[in-house]
Amino acid sequence: MEIEARANPMDKYLRADRIPHIWCSGCGLGIVLNAFLHAIEELNIDLDKLAVVSGIGCTGRIAGYINTDSYHTTHGRAIPFATGLKLANPEMKVVVISGDGDLFAIGGNHFIHAARRNIDITVIGVNNYNYGMTGGQLGPTTPLGARTTTSPYGNIEHPFNLCHVAHAAGAVYVARWTVLHAIRLKNSIKEALNKRGFSFIEVIAACPTTYGRRNKMPDALDEMRFYREHSVIKHGIDPSQANIEIGKEIVVGKFVDIEKPTFNEAVEELKKKVKKK
Amino acid sequence: MKKEIRFWNGSIAVSEGAIVAGCRFFAGYPITPASDIAEYMALRLPQEDGIFIQMEDEIASIAALLGASWGGAKVMTSTSGPGFSLMQENVGLAAVTETPLVIAEVQRAGPSTGMPTLVGQGDVMQSRWGSHGDYETIVISPSSPQESFDLVIRAFNLAELYRVPVIFLMDECIAHMSERVVIPPKEEIEVVERIKPNVSPEKYMPFQPVNDIAPMATAGMGYRVHVTGLTHNEKGYPMTTSPEVQEWMVRHICDKIRKNEHKIRDIEEYRMEDAEIAIVAFGIVGRSAKAAVKMARRHRIKAGLIRLKTIWPFPESYFESMADSIKKFIVAEINYGQIKLEVERAVHGKASVELLPKFGGAVHQPMEIYQKIKEVKNGN
Ligand SMILES: Cc1ncc(C[n+]2csc(CCOP(=O)(O)OP(=O)(O)O)c2C)c(N)n1
Ligand code: SF4
Ligand SMILES: [Mg+2]
């Protein structure tokens, strides 16, 4: 019997010659990538005018698989790189996809300042509660009490609530989803891509290999099951009320959606004002 | 167009030179004695349809330069030693991703916070070896506001031509001194533009050199390039377990500069025709060294000056052949011996090389250099 080889309809968005990817089976990153690709497909975004920028980490590898101009920068520096790219080439749609450690530990300073300036980029922050790439160390979002390779007795640090940070720093669009909410996530990415200014989506993602197995969720499905049983959608809630704690409900939804002039717009206005004749 | 005459300090001259060279993006973070450049660019760039942004630190500044350079712009930042230290990881990223950018580094006295308002020349090695791994940079050092203007244009041209980070290594004195600057007519100024690919996206190999340098497809041109700091092949794809690709990539980013050292080289010789003793200096010290040579000549001592306008790649073969006739070199620099080591290495024991250091905060007086010349002469 002959089996007809059919191309996956999403192939055109991928660098097919780079597949298979490096991620573990059960990793949440495939769902994030899939949601992103469907969002750009449904928005019919010109791939030649889309740039994806990543930092370093398992999440940071996303840029390398997408068939657009894609930039895999240094650890923590995706946002300032994206800032320069967007300012120098405003016709590009610029998206940063990176991990919790990359964006909020080593790169935390850049995140808050890009949000404050309202740089016109979308940031998708994949929160898997740990540093996957380097073997499961604790990170700025590791919940209190969670076991990681550098918190072998349980985490004693208070974690960031990323959506609260984004809101406080001035982001115009803030949402949180888990990888269980694949369709809602895709719709949210579409909204964020259409938003003028600094938009941020936190995606809670399973990392069975380095996080789950040390925290009583050794199977990827355990984490998905947990999301199903414990996440509640609360659109419009003050993000400060959406902390993440072990074993407690995960509040998801769109928390912030406001309008504010962007840095690009301010620069263009300034240029008009001072331009030499 | 006619030439124009201005009375500018080095900071203004380097900024105006950058604009003439086509710089339309500047990201920086304030630091003495380099802040004047950022302040002047904040004033001037919006008038020229360019973008100035003050970032949250120097790491962000150079990352923004990389992004803007891949966005298609010619880009510059300014900083001093402490900020330059922070930039180093991304200097390496610029080197392996072959990203043109210019860093105006106004040296102050280090190490650490050091003497923020006073001169130093201690960042010579940092500008060559500051990032990890094997790579090359081009480093240019001006001795006047005029050269700040002229040579920064060359810095941009070389950055674009060789796709390499260029460090414009100034010092506090040059940045703050004001002098006459002659601006040549526009049509006499050479401005080099980035080479773009002229093949279809299917055929394009983003890191495959054509005559040493790969044409660069920036964002939005339709080439859909992947750029990574990981070891990568001609296609730009990560190859993190292939020693062969690592060798190919490292050789390429180094050899494109090493091979062309003689073209990049820029040296001023003063009274070298019959010299027996040569002073080697750069930046502000080049000026007191010239005065010292004049003093020596008045006393019939055959001294000359070799002033380095490009420091890296180091002109090794130049010094090696100079050492056939010159048996005594004196290296005067405001540090505890950096270029001295290079000269020593380059002359292969054919000549003596003595260091005349200053430890930062002050410039060699001509008399001090003259004394050293006498000492070396009498030490026959
Ligand atoms: C300057 C620097 N420090 C440390 C590292 C090592 N490192 C690589 S990835 C990473 C953490 C990544 O964690 P996260 O951003 O959460 O991504 P994940 O792998 O979990 O997706 C670290 C510390 C590095 N590459 N560069
Ligand atoms: S370590 Fe975790 S985040 Fe990294 S690929 Fe594996 S499952 Fe995914
Ligand atoms: Mg992580």
Hey, is the C-beta of A133 within 8 angstroms of any chain B C-beta?
no
Asked whether the beta carbons of A128 and B76 are under 8 A apart, the reply is no
- The confidence score (pLDDT) of residue B166 equals 99
Q: Is the CB of A131 under 6 A from ligand 2?
A: no
Q: Indicate the residue of A15, A84, A270 with minimum beta-carbon distance to B226.
A: A15
Q: What is the mean pLDDT of residues B294-307?
A: 98
The string of pLDDT tens digits covering residues B200-251 is 999 999 999 999 999 999 999 999 999 999 999 999 999 999 999 999 999 9
Q: Please name the residues between 33 and 72 in chain A that touch chain B, using a CB distance below 8 Å.
A: 47-49, 51, 53, 63-64, 67-72
Residue A8's pLDDT band, with cuts at 50, 70 and 90, is: confident
The answer, yes or no, to whether residue A3 has pLDDT greater than 80, is no
- Please give the residue that has the higher pLDDT: either A16 or A68: A68
The string of pLDDT tens digits covering residues B30-60 is 999 999 999 999 999 999 999 999 999 999 9
Packing angle of the helix pair B366-378, B285-298 (nearest 10 deg): 50
Contact B226 A70 (CB under 8 A): yes
CA angle B85, B86, B88 (to 5 degrees): 70
Residues 6 or more apart whose CB falls under 8 angstroms from that of A12 comprise: A47, A67
Distance CA B92, CA B94 (A): 5
Burial degree of A277 (CB within 10 A; 0-12, 13-18, 19+): exposed
CATH of domain B4-188: 3.40.50.970
Distance CA B184, CA B17 (A): 11
Residue B117 structure tokens = 């308002």
Asked whether the beta carbons of A14 and A65 are under 8 A apart, the reply is yes
Contact A85 B223 (CB under 8 A): no
- The confidence score (pLDDT) of residue A1 equals 60
Hey, is the C-beta of B95 within 8 angstroms of any chain A C-beta?
no
- The confidence score (pLDDT) of residue A15 equals 95
Q: What is the mean pLDDT of residues B164-190?
A: 98
List the one residue out of B182, B230, B279, B282 whose CA is nearest residue A74: B230
Contact A64 B25 (CB under 8 A): no
Does A3 fall in a domain?
Answer: no
Domains identified in chain A, total number: 1
Contact B68 A84 (CB under 8 A): yes
Hey, is the C-beta of A86 within 8 angstroms of any chain B C-beta?
yes
Residues 6 or more apart whose CB falls under 8 angstroms from that of B124 comprise: B139, B169, B311, B333, B335, B338, B339
Residue of A nearest to B96 (CA): A73
Q: Is the CB of A119 under 6 A from ligand 1?
A: no
Residue A68's pLDDT band, with cuts at 50, 70 and 90, is: very high
- Please give the residue that has the higher pLDDT: either A219 or A8: A219
The string of pLDDT tens digits covering residues B123-163 is 999 999 999 999 999 999 999 999 999 999 999 999 999 99
Distance CA A233, CA A240 (A): 15
* A and B: number of Cβ contacts within 8 A: 144
Best residue for ligand 2 mutational test, from A21, A23, A215 (most atoms within 8 Å of Cβ): A23
Does A18 fall in a domain?
Answer: no
Q: Is the CB of A101 under 6 A from ligand 1?
A: yes
List the one residue out of A250, A239, A242 whose CA is nearest residue A204: A250
The answer to whether the B4-188 and B269-377 domains have the same CATH topology is yes
Hey, is the C-beta of A89 within 8 angstroms of any chain B C-beta?
yes
Q: Is the dihedral of CA A246, A252, A258, A262 positive or negative?
A: positive
Residue of A nearest to B90 (CA): A74
Residue A138 structure tokens = 């604790």
Asked whether the beta carbons of A218 and A212 are under 8 A apart, the reply is yes
Measured from the CA of A102, which atom of ligand 1 is nearest? 15
Residue B267 structure tokens = 């040296």
Percentage of chain A surpassing pLDDT 70? Answer: 98
Q: Is the CB of A29 under 6 A from ligand 2?
A: yes
Q: What is the mean pLDDT of residues B168-173?
A: 98
Asked whether the beta carbons of A50 and A20 are under 8 A apart, the reply is no
Cα B237 to averaged position of ligand 3 atoms, centre (Å) = 23
The answer, yes or no, to whether residue B115 has pLDDT greater than 70, is yes
Q: Indicate the residue of A47, A68, A85 with minimum beta-carbon distance to B67.
A: A85
Hey, is the C-beta of B27 within 8 angstroms of any chain A C-beta?
yes
Does A8 fall in a domain?
Answer: no
Hey, is the C-beta of B49 within 8 angstroms of any chain A C-beta?
yes
- The confidence score (pLDDT) of residue A9 equals 85
Chain A positions in Cβ-Cβ contact with residue B227 (cut-off 8 Å)? 70-72
Q: Tell me if the domain spanning B269-377 has CATH number 3.40.50.920.
A: yes
Residue A31 structure tokens = 């769902």
- When the pLDDT of each residue in chain B is averaged and rounded to a whole number, the result is 97
- The confidence score (pLDDT) of residue B8 equals 98
- Please give the residue that has the higher pLDDT: either A9 or A180: A180
Distance CA A197, CA A263 (A): 8
Q: Is the dihedral of CA B144, B149, B150, B151 positive or negative?
A: positive
Does A182 fall in a domain?
Answer: yes
Chain A positions in Cβ-Cβ contact with residue B60 (cut-off 8 Å)? 77, 80, 83, 109-110, 113
Q: Is the CB of A138 under 6 A from ligand 2?
A: no
Cα A161 to averaged position of ligand 2 atoms, centre (Å) = 21
Residues 6 or more apart whose CB falls under 8 angstroms from that of B199 comprise: none
- The confidence score (pLDDT) of residue A2 equals 67
Does A4 fall in a domain?
Answer: no
Domain hosting A109: range is: 24-274
Contact A80 B51 (CB under 8 A): no
- The confidence score (pLDDT) of residue A277 equals 65
Q: According to the 3-state scheme, what is the secondary structure of chain A?
A: CCCCCCCCCCHHHECHHHCCCCCCCCCCHHHHHHHHHHHHHHCCCCHHHEEEEECCCCHHHHHHHECCEEEECCCCCHHHHHHHHHHHCCCCEEEEEEEHHHHHHHCHHHHHHHHHHCCCCEEEEEECCCECCCCCECCCCCCCCCCECCECCCCCCCCCCHHHHHHHHCCCEEEEEECCCHHHHHHHHHHHHHCCCCEEEEEECCCCCCCHHHCCCCCHHHHHHHHHHHEEECCCCCHHHCCCCCCCCEEEEEEEECCCCCHHHHHHHHHHHHCCC
- The confidence score (pLDDT) of residue A276 equals 74
Q: Indicate the residue of A68, A91, A271 with minimum beta-carbon distance to B46.
A: A271
CATH number of the domain residue A162 falls in: 3.40.50.970
Distance CA A148, CA A154 (A): 7
Task: For ligand 1, atom 26, name the residue with the nearest CA.
Answer: A75
Q: What does the domain layout of chain B look like in residue ranges? A: 4-188, 269-377
The answer, yes or no, to whether residue B109 has pLDDT greater than 70, is yes
- The confidence score (pLDDT) of residue B380 equals 55
Measured from the CA of A29, which atom of ligand 1 is nearest? 21
Q: Is the CB of A202 under 6 A from ligand 1?
A: no
Measured from the CA of A100, which atom of ligand 1 is nearest? 16
Length of chain A: 277
Q: What is the mean pLDDT of residues A257-273?
A: 97
Q: What is the mean pLDDT of residues A124-147?
A: 98
Does A5 fall in a domain?
Answer: no
Its pTM stands at 0.98
